[in-house]
Structure 1
Amino acid sequence: MRKGIAIAGTISLDEIKAVDCYPDKSELTTINSVRRSIGGAVSNCSVALAKIDRNLVVEAITYLGNDEKGKYLYECLNTYPNIDLKQLKIIGETPFTDVIQDKHDKTRTFLTFRGNSSLFNENSIDLIKLKSKILHIAYILLLDSLDEEDLEYGTKMAKLLKKAQELGIKTSIDIVSESGIRYEKTVPPSLKYTNYCVINEYEAGKSVGINLRDRSGKLLTGDIKKVLYKLKELGVKDWVVVHVPEGSFGYDGKNVYSIPSLFIEIESIKGTVGAGDAYVAGILYGAHKGFNLNESMKLATASAASSLFEEDSTSGIKNYEELVLLYDNYPKREDIKI
């Protein structure tokens, strides 16, 4: 019987630079502090899951460079006994990201060097040796080789997900938020072979051609169901989840769920780096444990909220029991009717 969760694809070393405000072009701003952290889906989700449940086996599958950044990331992952690094390979240059954290409004902007992530392809995962029940691959639009066209399946990513499902492995995907027009061509092929699609409102809207925010940034709640249904129609087999700062919305093919975010005073928020990956980790853990979608979304909400209490992506993540208490005891934002 398969057990555990595999996280494959993008890894990065993050340098979090806190600034008073993000500058306009040609303007200068002061960096108040610099902090190094793990980043990218493989490290963020793997460590989050390892902290949620110390007995859960997490298989981390990625490329690291034989450089100082790669050694740092390896040492961080190797700190957790339940993270399996047997499918980690050393090649090329380690990706890194400058995370510019605006101290005023807590937003963050990413400047990334893709490095060896462009080399990660359909042969980078030994599916036969994989022991996990769920395989999460991220991020679509950031893994160049997997985003390449495949004449039969649409993309190389879709082909890889199909092979995993044929071996009885549940699949999960995430997408990177980029400005561009690639979504509607690159994302849908993978949805046909995805069990769990957990993405934010920008990525969801771009993937189906329906914006979920207006020009002022207001959430267009009347279109959320349309997006959930459309993503499911494109082939997602089990759960579609769209998360936003205000809450999250899920569809399991029968019921639609709306879960408000926890209400956290802005003064208590140290950073938002990795909140999306923390949310994904909560959903994946719930799916692995056999929770229903509603329960999994509540856990994911608490997981994402806990990550906000620290500047980096994973230091704030709590274990399962603490996350349940956090969700039960913390005030919630107003319910979002959709």
Structure 2
Amino acid sequence: MTKGIAIAGTIAVDEIKVIDQYPQKSELTTIKSVQKSIGGAVSNCSVGLAKIDESLVVEAIALLGDDERGHFLYDRLSKYKNIRLEHMKFTGETPFTDVIQDLSDKTRTFFTFKGNSTLFNEHSFELTKLNARILHVAYILLLDALDQQDSEYGTKMAKLLKKAQDLGIKTSIDIVSENNNRYENIVPPSLKYTNYCVINEYEAGKTAGIELRDKGGNLLASRIKQVLFKLKDFGVQDWVVIHTPEGSFGYDGSTLHSVPSLKLEKESIKGTVGAGDAYLSGLLYGAYKELSLLDSMKIATAAAASSLFEEDSTSGIKSFPELITLYNSYPKRDETFI
């Protein structure tokens, strides 16, 4: 059997609640609609990859609760013939996230219940039984057991990634956007054993200790190069990629690349939930197909854009040929920001 891509770690049910505008503390706002969907990297990236290429073998690895949310996730993933669920285990309570979608500025705010994700560790699946060329594990800072210290490797996550690499599996990581100061201690040990580091500007800045937006929210593009270099110096072996709403930036150890986002009509954007996971799916697929970093970033940009056409994380994602057409047909943002 041809080897594919394995996605491990965080899974959840997303309850997407659409409001006109996010309220101040103690204020009331009306929920206009509620939609339940799959969420978390394991769900989003597995489905994203499955839709990009129906022939690709995708292994989903996570803990599910033996509850209504757990069975909802299992049933939804089962609908895709190329997603393998042999590594799923039922225990504890299924994580869920309340996603508050603000119609006024298209932003979203997350309230998450970790559930059994705190139990997910290096023993939750067997690396030797994977049929994968690439293993993506997400999210650092959200998987408590893997964030624990390890005397030899720094963290349990780093130890897991090292074991995967020793088996000839390329590794990929993502980080959760969290308002704390844990990044600089917990993330770097894993980067030493990472082939593909694909994160947003907030996570990259916090890890490197360099702010990438000013107080007004403007992207400090002049600092991107410094952050890419610093992340690479932590030990990332192949690609470092930082994705932002304005565009994405990548470094492969020899060449810097930048790809502006697609210009979409505001009326066509229904939601931004899962755009980062969609971007990651496109980039991992490019790596799997041995495309260049630049071409992979273009596919990832199109995947992220396609996800915006629907409220949930995965419904809008297109197939690989459709993503190429989408990228080529839409105008790009002004490249002067790069």
| TM-score grouping bracket, smaller chain normalisation | over 0.9
Indicate the residue corresponding to 1:139 in structure 2: 139
Indicate the residue corresponding to 1:299 in structure 2: 299
Give the CA deviation at 1:266.
Answer: 1.4
Output the aligned Cα RMSD: 0.8
Indicate the residue corresponding to 1:18 in structure 2: 18
Indicate the residue corresponding to 1:149 in structure 2: 149
Taking the aligned partners of 1:133 and 1:191, their CA distance within structure 2 comes to 18
Give the CA deviation at 1:336.
Answer: 4.4
Q: Is the 8 A contact 1:247 1:336 kept in 2?
A: no
SS at match of 1:128: helix
Q: How does 1:40-55 map to 2 (within 5 A)?
A: 40-55=40-55
Read off the aligned partner of 2:190 and give its amino acid letter.
S
Taking the aligned partners of 1:336 and 1:178, their CA distance within structure 2 comes to 29
1:320 equivalent to 2:320? Answer yes
Unaligned runs of 5+ in 2: none
Give the CA deviation at 1:125.
Answer: 2.2
Aligned length: 338
Indicate the residue corresponding to 1:281 in structure 2: 281
Unaligned runs of 5+ in 1: none
Q: Is the 8 A contact 1:162 1:193 kept in 2?
A: yes
Taking the aligned partners of 1:169 and 1:123, their CA distance within structure 2 comes to 17
Report the TM-score when normalising by structure 2: 0.99
Taking the aligned partners of 2:128 and 2:105, their CA distance within structure 1 comes to 46
1:163 equivalent to 2:163? Answer yes
Taking the aligned partners of 2:142 and 2:270, their CA distance within structure 1 comes to 27
Indicate the residue corresponding to 1:240 in structure 2: 240
Indicate the residue corresponding to 1:73 in structure 2: 73
Q: How does 1:196-211 map to 2 (within 5 A)?
A: 196-211=196-211
Which 10-residue stretch deviates more, 262-271 or 198-207? Answer: 262-271
| Consecutive aligned runs of 4 or more in structure 1 exceeding 3 Å deviation | none
Taking the aligned partners of 2:306 and 2:120, their CA distance within structure 1 comes to 31
Report the TM-score when normalising by structure 1: 0.99
SS at match of 2:147: coil
Deviation track 1:144-197 (CA, whole Å, cap 9, x = no partner) reads 000000111110000000000000000000000000000000000000000000
Indicate the residue corresponding to 2:266 in structure 1: 266
Give the CA deviation at 1:31.
Answer: 0.2
Q: Is the 8 A contact 2:134 2:169 kept in 1?
A: yes
SS at match of 2:327: helix
265 and 58 in structure 1: CA distance in 2 versus 1, 3 angstrom threshold: same
SS at match of 1:145: helix
Identity of aligned residues (%): 71
Read off the aligned partner of 2:136 and give its amino acid letter.
H
Q: Is the 8 A contact 2:2 2:57 kept in 1?
A: no
